Chain A
Amino acid sequence: MNIVTKNIICKNETLTLTNHRAVYWPKQEMLIISDLHVGKAAHFRKSGIPVSTEVLNNDLERLKQLLSFFKAKQLMVVGDLFHAGINNEFKIFRNWLDTVEKINLILVKGNHDKISSEISDLFFDWNIFTTHHISPFNFIHESLNSIDNVFQISGHTHPGVLLKGKGKQRIKLPCYQISKNQLILPAFSLFTGLNTKPPLEKVINYAFTEDHIFELI
């Protein structure tokens, strides 16, 4: 896996963007992702739509490589760690967690994270919050209208950009969306769509491919 990185400064903190839908915060030794949607493929299968469980395995494999690349001590998921009710893939995820090195696990709940007691028992090692503040950042799944002096890091929207070329060429790429007071992460799972509707606010997009991260204004 070819990991490309790009450092940006937010609120005087260095954040490292990667071309694999994850941000690393060196000061906290923390990997930040959003929208992993564990159990989504299985939920589809249960409803009669055959989506291979390899989708999840692939996501987890990428996550493992990112964690070891940065030697991260913490993993922060800003929402939609899970997709719907509990199913087999939750167990696959549990087993996977048991194989990676012990790190501090934080979940800021998203709209998909319906945490039943069964789920909270199975994932006892996670610290679960509705929002979480580690100065200078506020972690929340769905960003609120911008509040002055608070910088939000969130997910939820699955941001993407649509690049138009000559002769009807169109490419959609996932991106990080950064405005004055917030950073929106792309969805980590590859089994997610892209929202390319332009945001209302003025933003800088960092789109990426297999070997590049580039800035689009």
Chain B
Amino acid sequence: MSSKFLESEGFKIVEKHFIDKGHKPFTFQLKTWQSIGNNYSGIVVAPTGFGKTYSVFLGVIIDYLNHPENYKKGLKLLWVSPLRSLAKDLAKAMNAAIESIGLDWTVAVRNGDTPTKTRRQQERLMPDVLLTTPETIHLLFSQKNNSRWFKNINCIAIDEWHELLGNKRGILTELLISRLKTLSPNLKIWGITATIGNLEEAKTVLIPYADTKTIMITAKEKKKIKIVSVLPNAIEVLPWSGHLGASMSSKIVPIIYENTTTLIFTNTRNQSEMWYQIILDAAPDLAGQIAIHHGSIDAKLRNWIEDSISEGKLKAVICTSSLDLGVDFKPVDCVIQIGSSKGIARFMQRAGRSGHSPYETSKIYFVPTHSLELIEISALKEAVKQHKIESRLPLVLCFDVMVQFLITLAVGEGFLAKEIYTLLKQTHAYAYLTEDEFSWALLFITQGGTTLKSYEEYHKVIKDEKNVYRVKSRRISMLHRMNIGVIVSSSMLRVKFISGGYVGMIEEYFISRLKPKASFVLAGRVLEMLHIKDMTVYVKISKAKKAMIPSYNGGRLPLTSHLSHFLRIKLADALSPSIRERELKFLHPLIARQGLHSHIPKANEFLIELIETKEGYHIFMYPFEGRLVHEVMAALIAYRLSKITPLTFTIAMNDYGFELLSDQAIPLNEDNVASVVSKNNLMEDVVGSINASEMASRKFRDIAVIAGLVVQSMPGKRQNNKSLQSSSGLIFRVLEDYEPQNLLLKQAYSEVFNQQLEEVRLREAFIRIENSDIIIKRSKSFTPLSFPIKVDSLRNSLSNESLSKRIERLQKEALKNTK
């Protein structure tokens, strides 16, 4: 640390503020302060609870105090965070610091919740610090004369950058930084992130500018995490998910009582509703002290819950990833994870929600929903110990986001093609954009398609006499502003009590299949549907004891490749677990059974089980690559087998493996297995085995909304632009028929291959399989590994009650057959 900086006026003032509060700056904070003083940009990597915010924020304050001449009136620091809910508390903390330092800066929040009056005031006079979201900045870009607000901006901070990197909101962020950098060339760019696997890349994506000095500052402070697995009373040698629920509740309730406030994480909204009921049934006196929090619950209710957690009024909150991020809840001293978190980063993030102050230990309990999940916890522990965390891979060349951005600029101040091409090319996302692709985008927004004659009335963007691209129509501007952003939710309806008051949101798909007077569960309440009007479902409290719990699309998270790697190792270890691994020791009877009747695959082995039951002929394979990859692999193997003999298969899968079931003998044996699981002709066979056009059509849903091809209807809004209603599937078909060279279609296909089919991971899996010893085992009954997959396939076709009975019968048969 240079002594000159330590002796500067600004540093002394801020340090005094820190010491007065009884804190001592961490080394990473000091480093950040000095780097900002030296005109660096960079990223700060620190665990939550260590004052990441103060590193960048106070750095800017110190620089201002030392060099007020570099700062002009208006917006100085733009603070971007992925969550609206963070802003309010951050602003409070910043205001407190500013006041205690004695500055005359103003701090303001701007996002979708900000009232119009406040927004207009801000537009007349921007605050010194503005806390906002990427979408809100793009909305500002769509206003007339917007560059005046940004031309003197000194620093932009991107909070929780790891949450944005890897999705299309990350691209929105890259684009807005590129534009701000153009407006204010000396802009300092700072990212704040938790640890991820590709930090260096995260820095380059955020700050790809050659003329900017960059630095990565990593906190040495480490958050201590204590992981406790909650073991069931007895081991079940044929495990199946969901079964342990009720019996585990007797173990969860004491944990809730022992701690001040507990966050209970589940993986889906459906599960959170279910566990809320289970816990209430097990401990009725907790009523009123526990709450449920997920993305479909009304925002007001969620805010109330969040406030109540902060004030220590709640003993426990059952939640989903909706509380992964967000304000630090001081009273939370315990976290329970129900079911596998399916990823290492997510697990650590959730653990970090407890024990927030710097030197406290985060405590997380893991409650398995079936006994095999104990292997996952063992794998998670190992990964946390080795500090191996997943990477967030940045997306590139998303034409939908680019088209939206171009129209945003055309609605705002208008743009010149050459300038915007440069602006795009300097981002990471569009560094490889070609001139042809860019010209296509201009053509698309000005004339709609390649044959001008077919698009006569289309004048979305117009090139004026000065070659500036502009949107002239007020109606198009309005439609576009409503559409800015890249978060596409499935069509949702608001749920409202007939007597007043909102409960939350529900998917149109689910509600359209309910009959009037049917009951369903939302926000922990049993509701009776009365009628639907204006995209709102009117309900009243139902007296029914049992009701449907809505399932939401996209509920299931697949296992990450990092975790699956550790999982394979732990499974192999499980035959002879070390004394300290209580999960593996507990699992021993199950593992031993698997070893006895089939085989435990070692890290260099690939297990295939051929099982013949009354139901037919089953193949089980265990790549441990997560359900998405398994879905593709299963279709592929079925395709290759049906080329040997024409057969039809039923396919089932979970995160560990997949099943193919046929009513005829399956022609797979030691001689031909190598060719069936070969990596040769991989992608050709994948394309042959799936309906790529159907998958692309589904992927096109988000693309169509982002690029403005589908007008979303807003829940609760009266005006729904009915005459413009269409589905993305319809637009997809029309484009395939008449505009096949449209780049948005191409993007849909590439998203299928990169994201849905995970081409890279698939290829790696086949290479690994090819280098493994393939073990084929034959059996007359289900094994511990195959049983949960079998159960999952039943789940799709049967109602809950008959399901339990049928599973019990299967279990008995399997055990009997092998005695």
Known contacts: A52-B739, A55-B734. The answer to whether A43 contacts B724 by CB under 8 A is: yes
A88 at interface, CB cutoff 8 A: yes
What's the Cα separation between A53 and B449 when bound, in Å?
11
A20-49 residues with Cβ-Cβ distance < 8 A to B are 42-49
Partner of A192, one of B449, B473, B730: B730
Known contacts: A45-B457, A55-B734. The answer to whether A50 contacts B448 by CB under 8 A is: yes
Contact B724 A44 (CB under 8 A): yes
Partner of A49, one of B447, B648, B724, B727: B724
What residues of B have a CB within 8 angstroms of the CB of A53 in the complex? Answer: 453-456
Contact A193 B730 (CB under 8 A): yes
What residues of A have a CB within 8 angstroms of the CB of B738 in the complex? Answer: 52, 54-55
Q: Which residue of A lies closest to B512 (CB)?
A: A197
B451 at interface, CB cutoff 8 A: yes
What's the Cα separation between A144 and B527 when bound, in Å?
31
Q: Mark B632-648, 1 if CB is under 8 A from A, else 0.
A: 00010000000000001
Partner of A46, one of B457, B726, B737: B457
A83 at interface, CB cutoff 8 A: yes
What residues of B have a CB within 8 angstroms of the CB of A44 in the complex? Answer: 724, 726
What's the Cα separation between A148 and B525 when bound, in Å?
43
What's the Cα separation between A204 and B512 when bound, in Å?
21
What's the Cα separation between A47 and B710 when bound, in Å?
11
Number of interface residues of B (CB under 8 A): 41
Q: Name which of B76-84, B233-241, B474-482 contacts chain A.
A: B474-482
Partner of A52, one of B512, B724, B730, B734: B734
What's the Cα separation between A191 and B649 when bound, in Å?
35
B458 at interface, CB cutoff 8 A: yes
Contact B727 A193 (CB under 8 A): yes
What residues of B have a CB within 8 angstroms of the CB of A166 in the complex? Answer: 648-651
Contact A49 B708 (CB under 8 A): yes
Q: Which of A83, A112, A191 has the most CB of B within 10 A?
A: A191
Known contacts: A44-B726, A45-B448, A48-B476. The answer to whether A88 contacts B709 by CB under 8 A is: no
Contact B651 A167 (CB under 8 A): yes
Contact B444 A50 (CB under 8 A): yes
Q: Which residue of A lies closest to B513 (CB)?
A: A197
What's the Cα separation between A42 and B457 when bound, in Å?
6
B731 at interface, CB cutoff 8 A: yes
A51 at interface, CB cutoff 8 A: yes
A105 at interface, CB cutoff 8 A: no
Contact B724 A54 (CB under 8 A): no
The A interface is mostly helix, strand or loop, or mixed, namely loop
Q: Which residue of B lies closest to A40 (CB)?
A: B723
What residues of A have a CB within 8 angstroms of the CB of B679 in the complex? Answer: none
- The smallest beta-carbon distance between A141 and chain B, in angstroms, is 16
What's the Cα separation between A87 and B459 when bound, in Å?
14
Q: Which of A46, A83, A192 has the most CB of B within 10 A?
A: A46
What's the Cα separation between A112 and B724 when bound, in Å?
12
B460 at interface, CB cutoff 8 A: yes
What's the Cα separation between A163 and B805 when bound, in Å?
29
What's the Cα separation between A102 and B475 when bound, in Å?
40
A10 at interface, CB cutoff 8 A: no
A178 at interface, CB cutoff 8 A: no
What residues of B have a CB within 8 angstroms of the CB of A45 in the complex? Answer: 448, 455-458
Contact A51 B731 (CB under 8 A): yes
Q: Which of A54, A88, A191 has the most CB of B within 10 A?
A: A54
Contact B456 A50 (CB under 8 A): no
A84 at interface, CB cutoff 8 A: yes
Q: Which residue of B lies closest to A171 (CB)?
A: B694
Q: Mark B565-604, 1 if CB is under 8 A from A, else 0.
A: 0000000000000000000000000000000000000000
What's the Cα separation between A109 and B724 when bound, in Å?
20
What residues of A have a CB within 8 angstroms of the CB of B460 in the complex? Answer: 48, 50
Q: Which of A83, A166, A169, A197 has the most CB of B within 10 A?
A: A166
Contact A50 B475 (CB under 8 A): no
- The smallest beta-carbon distance between A157 and chain B, in angstroms, is 14
Q: Which of B651, B731, B738, B739 has the most CB of A within 10 A?
A: B738
Partner of A43, one of B455, B512, B649, B723: B723
B344-379 residues with Cβ-Cβ distance < 8 A to A are none
What residues of A have a CB within 8 angstroms of the CB of B691 in the complex? Answer: 169
Contact B475 A47 (CB under 8 A): yes
What residues of A have a CB within 8 angstroms of the CB of B726 in the complex? Answer: 44, 49, 191, 193
Q: Which residue of A lies closest to B449 (CB)?
A: A50
Contact B458 A50 (CB under 8 A): yes
- The smallest beta-carbon distance between A5 and chain B, in angstroms, is 25
Partner of B458, one of A48, A54, A169, A191: A48
What residues of A have a CB within 8 angstroms of the CB of B730 in the complex? Answer: 191-193
What's the Cα separation between A88 and B455 when bound, in Å?
11
What's the Cα separation between A112 and B723 when bound, in Å?
9
What residues of B have a CB within 8 angstroms of the CB of A191 in the complex? Answer: 726, 730, 734
Contact B724 A47 (CB under 8 A): yes
What's the Cα separation between A96 and B691 when bound, in Å?
38
Q: Which of A42, A43, A52 has the most CB of B within 10 A?
A: A52
Contact A88 B734 (CB under 8 A): no
What's the Cα separation between A191 and B732 when bound, in Å?
11
What's the Cα separation between A51 and B737 when bound, in Å?
11
What's the Cα separation between A167 and B796 when bound, in Å?
11
What's the Cα separation between A52 and B479 when bound, in Å?
20
B628-670 residues with Cβ-Cβ distance < 8 A to A are 635, 648-651
Known contacts: A43-B724, A45-B457, A87-B457. The answer to whether A52 contacts B476 by CB under 8 A is: no
- The smallest beta-carbon distance between B358 and chain A, in angstroms, is 48
What residues of B have a CB within 8 angstroms of the CB of A55 in the complex? Answer: 734, 738
- The smallest beta-carbon distance between B439 and chain A, in angstroms, is 16
What's the Cα separation between A123 and B651 when bound, in Å?
56
B145-203 residues with Cβ-Cβ distance < 8 A to A are none
Known contacts: A52-B739, A84-B723, A193-B726. The answer to whether A167 contacts B457 by CB under 8 A is: no
What residues of B have a CB within 8 angstroms of the CB of A83 in the complex? Answer: 723
What residues of B have a CB within 8 angstroms of the CB of A48 in the complex? Answer: 458, 460, 473, 476, 479-480, 708
Q: Which residue of A lies closest to B661 (CB)?
A: A166
Q: Which residue of A lies closest to B461 (CB)?
A: A48
What residues of A have a CB within 8 angstroms of the CB of B451 in the complex? Answer: 52
What's the Cα separation between A47 and B725 when bound, in Å?
12
Q: Which residue of A lies closest to B471 (CB)?
A: A48
What residues of B have a CB within 8 angstroms of the CB of A192 in the complex? Answer: 730
Q: Mark B426-453, 1 if CB is under 8 A from A, else 0.
A: 0000000000000000001001110101
Known contacts: A44-B724, A83-B723, A191-B734. The answer to whether A49 contacts B709 by CB under 8 A is: yes
A111-152 residues with Cβ-Cβ distance < 8 A to B are 112
What residues of B have a CB within 8 angstroms of the CB of A43 in the complex? Answer: 723-724
- The smallest beta-carbon distance between A63 and chain B, in angstroms, is 17
26 contacting pairs across A/B (C-beta < 8 A): A43-B723, A44-B726, A45-B448, A46-B457, A47-B475, A48-B473, A48-B476, A48-B479, A48-B480, A48-B708, A49-B708, A49-B724, A49-B726, A50-B444, A50-B458, A50-B709, A52-B451, A52-B454, A52-B738, A53-B454, A54-B737, A55-B734, A55-B738, A167-B650, A191-B734, A193-B725
Which A residues are within 8 Å of any B CB, using their own CB? 42-55, 83-84, 87-88, 112, 166-167, 169, 190-193, 197
The 3 A-B pairs at the shortest CB distance, nearest first, are namely A50-B448, A48-B460, A45-B458
Given contacts A50-B447, A87-B457, 16 further A-B contacts (CB under 8 A): A43-B724, A46-B457, A47-B711, A49-B709, A49-B711, A50-B444, A50-B709, A52-B449, A52-B451, A52-B738, A53-B455, A166-B651, A169-B691, A191-B726, A192-B730, A193-B730
Which B residues are within 8 Å of any A CB, using their own CB? 444, 447-449, 451, 453-458, 460, 473, 475-476, 479-480, 512, 635, 648-651, 691, 708-711, 723-727, 729-731, 733-734, 737-739
